[in-house]
């Protein structure tokens, strides 16, 4: 398990940074609308493969029925209303400036990990580091599925069981891990994710996207004292770093965060 960082960094734009500081809230995006088109489907595909492999060798008829029911449910997981806000352990990474910000319009906002964990727990969200290794991903999914098989077969030996309940628990367990399972090609990002429970569509909002409207929900960063847990801001590549640093300090002071630090990127990347 990776060491827990003291600060996590959220890459964002001028508009995003201003909104977060002024409203003390993050926008969490529906998982299907993130940059990686394989989000969720990657983990569901792995889980299906784990269940099929177990099915091919499983001697118990009841367990095989359970596995088939799990596979059938996984095939229906196409539009879960789960929302994600991404963070990185790395506060100043060239690939993230290029991938998640525009030239002269990028900032890396540092928020205390403990603060995020406390707020998330109080709202039934979860904050965990992403899992990139295929072997670890399959092991977690296998453990989730096997736990319900063991539980059901043990209960079935004593009395009749409601198989639907075990299917539901297995699928919920898979869904709980799925948002944290990313393709190994993204491992450089060292991503942590703040993930919502399933949210009713009526509680969502939509914002303008490049190719479609994007569903999102707000995650309030404020604790009971109004503290948002902001540690500081890294100003991304820009031809006017001193001006940008100065304006960010003004923004933080306006948002009641005058003690937050502001520094410029060490990257020499230039594109404007």
* pLDDT tens-place string over residues 247-270: 999 999 999 999 999 999 998 766
Per-residue pLDDT, 92: 94
Mean pLDDT of the chain: 90
Per-residue pLDDT, 35: 67
Per-residue pLDDT, 161: 75
- Contact at 8 Å (CB) between 206 and 88? no
Q: How many other CB atoms are there within 10 angstroms of residue 190's CB atom?
A: 19
Q: What angle do CA 193, 237, 242 make, to 5 degrees?
A: 115
Contacts of 79 (CB under 8 A, 6+ apart): 32
Q: What is the pTM of this model?
A: 0.88
Tens of pLDDT along 170-203?
Answer: 999 998 898 999 888 888 888 999 999 989 999 9
Where do runs of H (alpha helix) occur along the chain? 14-23, 41-57, 61-74, 94-100, 113-122, 134-156, 163-177, 241-254
Q: How many other CB atoms are there within 10 angstroms of residue 78's CB atom?
A: 9
**Strand, helix or coil at 220?**
strand
| Rounded CA separation 173/157 (Å) | 24
Q: What is the DSSP letter of 105?
A: B
**For the residues 233-253, what does the mean pLDDT come to?**
96
Q: 213 is written with which tokens?
A: 């409207």
Per-residue pLDDT, 36: 66
Q: Read off the pLDDT band of 272 (50, 70, 90).
A: very low
């Amino acid at each position: 398990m990776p060491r827990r960082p003291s600060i996590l960094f959220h890459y964002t734009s001028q508009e995003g940074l201003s909104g977060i500081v002024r409203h003390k809230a993050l926008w969490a995006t529906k998982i299907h609308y993130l940059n990686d088109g394989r989000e969720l489907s990657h983990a569901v595909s792995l889980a299906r493969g784990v269940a099929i492999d177990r099915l091919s060798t499983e001697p118990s008829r009841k367990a095989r029925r359970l596995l088939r029911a799990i596979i059938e449910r996984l095939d229906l997981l196409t539009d879960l209303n789960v929302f994600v806000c991404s963070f990185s352990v790395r506060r100043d990474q060239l690939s993230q400036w290029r991938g998640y910000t525009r030239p002269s319009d990028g900032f890396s906002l540092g928020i205390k990990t403990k603060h995020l964990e406390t707020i998330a727990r109080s709202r039934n969200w979860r904050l965990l580091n992403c899992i990139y290794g295929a072997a670890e991903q399959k092991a977690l999914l296998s453990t989730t599925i096997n736990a319900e098989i063991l539980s059901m077969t043990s209960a079935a030996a004593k009395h009749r069981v409601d198989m639907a309940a075990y299917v539901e628990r297995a699928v919920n367990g898979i869904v709980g891990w799925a948002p944290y399972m990313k393709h190994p090609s993204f491992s450089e990002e060292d991503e942590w994710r703040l993930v919502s429970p399933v949210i009713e569509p009526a509680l969502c909002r939509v914002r303008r996207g490049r190719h479609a409207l994007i569903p999102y929900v707000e995650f309030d960063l404020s604790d009971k004292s109004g503290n948002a847990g902001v540690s500081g801001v890294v100003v991304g590549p820009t031809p006017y770093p001193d001006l940008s640093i100065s304006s960010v300090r003004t923004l933080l002071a306006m948002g009641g965060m005058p003690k937050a630090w502001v520094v410029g990127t060490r990257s020499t990347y230039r594109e404007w």
